[in-house]
Structure 1
């Protein structure tokens, strides 16, 4: 029987020490395989596939992100704020309010799409 390519598993020193103690006289690889491949090993649920409605909401958010310059505008505002060159005027105030409205809409829409209540 030919063997497949090795499987790598990164462990902290603590995790490895704990596994080695649990393995006792067994090799670490044999112990890990016996636990993972045991009939009574825990089964984890599959990832939930988003509904069509949820996918549409996510697509809406992505489309709005692609069309808006909100991220770039906020980045420029933060840059000027950090440099001490930010001039607050009516135009900036309106831009900030629009950005806040965009972010709030995205938050609510993403939460709806993910089935999370606010």
Structure 2
């Protein structure tokens, strides 16, 4: 007699495993940024095992995806001219010599766009979805 096939969309029941703190630390080190479930599954069933995750539409990121996204954020921040530009504008405003030329306005708009992009990437890194159109240019 065949076993009944579980309905689609239902996740399999989790398996619990008790570990010592040292074992857990070793497991997390060995996983190297992957989720523990994905790492354990690959060790048990082979590196080519792929699992479809039902409900993965929540926008949540796995540890490796989050690490890549945060690396992009840091690279973008390092390459951005926003902070030095804003510091120069603040100094000029402080001493009262801020001419609002097209170049200055373009720098202000560019800095605001960079900051908005960095904000959106940070929100995604935290597993949140940035609202579209939430920020406007000055």
Q: State TM-score, norm by structure 1.
A: 0.55
Aligned residue for 1:59? 71
User: Is 1:103 paired with 2:115?
Assistant: yes
Q: Which runs of 4+ in 1 moved over 6 A?
A: none
**Whose relative contact order is higher, 1 or 2, with alpha carbons under 8 Å and at least 6 apart?**
1
* Corresponding residue SS for 1:102: helix
- Which 5+ residue runs of structure 1 have no aligned equivalent? 1-48
Alpha-carbon shift at residue 115 of structure 1 (Å): 1.3
For 1:96 and 1:75, how far apart are their aligned partners in 2? 11
Aligned length: 70
Greater C-alpha Rg: 1
For 1:54 and 1:97, how far apart are their aligned partners in 2? 28
RMSD: 1.5
Matches for 1:1-118 after TM superposition, within 5 Å: 51-118=63-130
Which is helix-richer, 1 or 2?
Answer: 1
